[in-house]
Structure 1
Amino acid sequence: MGEQAPLPQDFLDLSADCGGDPLRVQGPGGNTSIKLGETLWIKASGTELANALDDDIFVAVDRAIALAEAKGAGDGTCQAAILDPERGLRPSIETTFHALIDWPVVAHTHSVATLVHATSDQGFAEAKRKLDGLPVAFVPYCKPGRPLTEAIAAKMTPSVQVFVLGNHGLIVAGDSAPDVATLMGEVERRLAMPVLADGSPPEGSAPDGFIWLQTSALAHDAQLFSLATQGSYYPDHVVFLGPALPTQPVDGAPACLIQGQDLAIRKEATPAQKAMAQCLSDVLTRLPANWDPNAIGSEAEAELLNWDAEKYRQALAARRA
């Protein structure tokens, strides 16, 4: 199995559509899967859904082995389940929940609309109201991988097709890719939030070695500046940007937020880092002033920063820059 087997065109279209929309997926984030017989095809770690139509980004795993890992066997990485190891691809770090969810097609996104709601108690309550009548479950934040899979298992029933993941994103599952696309579109429509904060063009040049991201609202709004510089709110921010944004250039930090100016990012920043900086602005500028987002905290940040699986994904993203 040196090459990717033909996958249904509608599944590839769904994957590319998700990956091509920065309000749903940023850089190498998110993943999709399809179950064909006893084989689970899932996006490989570090690849981008946006490239689903052009590149071989999916890896085949034995679903039975992946399901066993979801329930505690092995190390939870599902590398032992790979059917085509000669391709050199690792399955997504979230393969276990794709194996566990018993629907043929599963799509996981880092939806901005979902993140706005899923980072605060007020947002969670509002999302429950907005999504009433849909087959939805709400899952508290857990480290990606098997801990998140276990949290999903605790909320899963045969009828649930939508999972809102605290401080993480969205999962939509269904019998087919068109069904998933339709249901995801309905969730996005119900959760859509307008941009509530505007900035103004920065004055002067960015710090040496940086460029302005041209998304200055975080630098001009005191509440948003505080939120952006005091915590992180979802895993991929930590993985690609580090913890809370520094307020001046710091060695090793790809971005900083200059109060009264703009979000500055290094000239050599990877596309993934730029996408995550934009995502932070997209999320926080949609946050109602009376919602109080919960940062994931220093312990959760340390788990992500010291995790070999995420270091691997970072390295692949840098290589593709």
Structure 2
Amino acid sequence: GLPLAQGIAERLRPGVDVLILGNHGLVVAAETVAEAERLLHRVRSLLARPARQTAAPDIAALTALADGSGYRLPADVEAHAVALDPDSCRTAEAGSLYPDHVIFLGRGSVVARPGEQVADVVARLGANPVAVLFPGAGVLMRGDASSGADAMQRCLADVTARIEITARLNYLTAAENDELVNWDAEQYRQKLNAAG
């Protein structure tokens, strides 16, 4: 939106060709598309971190949890990693790290308590979350979750697995979550997401 565009404009200076937009992403600038792509690859390689290794998801347990619940396995098996690594799970449960998470998955991440079934999670929350993390087992997605939600769940697993355990994180605030959920442009995007 406008505040983000104004923030970018305030920081543009000659010689500045990379802007890291906090929780919003990255902007690279170059004279050509090919140069921008090279710069993007260079920045990505400088920021690359290895993912923490996890065990395999417990597909049998997840299938049993999903049976008759209206929930399903995620599109990508890699999406389960966030629930299989305790540090990633804690990071995800603590809040939303970036705006698209809020748009596609809702505020923060829902983590099932020990022994909870999907129906127990829904009853506790009073709502059907887009995704539920079952620690040590994996993730279930609501049956009507879009491909965008599946992509964001995979993204969450990829991101949290690379965050240093001691890192100080800047989660989106409650006000930022509310702004995203109530912003007209994002409501429009959510409608498109629901349709696709």
Given the alignment, which residue of 146, 169, 179 partners 2:2?
A: 146
Which letter does structure 2 place at the counterpart of 1:271?
Answer: S
Tell me if structure 2 keeps the 8 A contact 1:161–1:173.
yes
In the TM superposition, what are the counterparts of 1:72-151 in structure 2 within 5 Å?
A: 145-151=1-7
- Partners of 2:55 and 2:5 lie apart in 1 by 39
In the TM superposition, what are the counterparts of 1:142-291 in structure 2 within 5 Å?
A: 145-202=1-58, 203-204=60-61, 205=63, 206-207=65-66, 208-213=69-74, 214=77, 215-248=79-112, 249-250=121-122, 251-291=127-167
Which digits, 9 at most, give the CA deviation of each residue in 1:250-286, with x for residues without a partner?
Answer: 3342111112211211222101010011100010011
Partner of 2:188: 312
Higher strand share: 1
Structure 2 portions without partners, runs of 5+: 113-120
Q: Give, in angstroms, the shift of residue 151 of structure 1.
A: 1.5
The CA RMSD measured in Å over matched residues stands at 1.6
Tell me if structure 2 keeps the 8 A contact 1:199–1:219.
no
Which letter does structure 1 place at the counterpart of 2:87?
Answer: Q
Instruction: Provide closer, same or farther for how the CA distance between residues 197 and 167 of structure 1 changes in structure 2, counting only shifts above 3 A.
Output: farther
SS in 2 for 1:150: helix
Given the alignment, which residue of 172, 176, 187 partners 1:296?
A: 172
Q: Give, in angstroms, the shift of residue 199 of structure 1.
A: 3.1
Give the paired residue count: 176
- Partners of 1:200 and 1:309 lie apart in 2 by 38
Relative contact order (alpha carbons < 8 A, sep ≥ 6): 1 or 2 greater?
2
Q: Give, in angstroms, the shift of residue 161 of structure 1.
A: 1.4
- Partners of 1:169 and 1:259 lie apart in 2 by 28
SS in 1 for 2:133: strand
Q: Give, in angstroms, the shift of residue 182 of structure 1.
A: 1.3
SS in 1 for 2:150: helix
- Partners of 1:163 and 1:148 lie apart in 2 by 12
Which letter does structure 2 place at the counterpart of 1:313?
Answer: R
Partner of 1:34: none
Partner of 1:36: none
- Partners of 2:88 and 2:48 lie apart in 1 by 19
Higher helix share: 2
Instruction: Provide closer, same or farther for how the CA distance between residues 195 and 269 of structure 1 changes in structure 2, counting only shifts above 3 A.
Output: same
Q: Give, in angstroms, the shift of residue 198 of structure 1.
A: 1.3
Structure 1 portions without partners, runs of 5+: 1-144
Which digits, 9 at most, give the CA deviation of each residue in 1:151-196, with x for residues without a partner?
Answer: 2122110321111110121111111111111111111121111112
Where do 4+ consecutive residues of structure 1 move more than 6 Å?
Answer: none
Which digits, 9 at most, give the CA deviation of each residue in 1:122-150, with x for residues without a partner?
Answer: xxxxxxxxxxxxxxxxxxxxxxx111112
Partner of 2:116: none
- Partners of 2:84 and 2:18 lie apart in 1 by 36
TM-score by length of 1: 0.52
TM-score by length of 2: 0.83
- Partners of 2:94 and 2:44 lie apart in 1 by 28
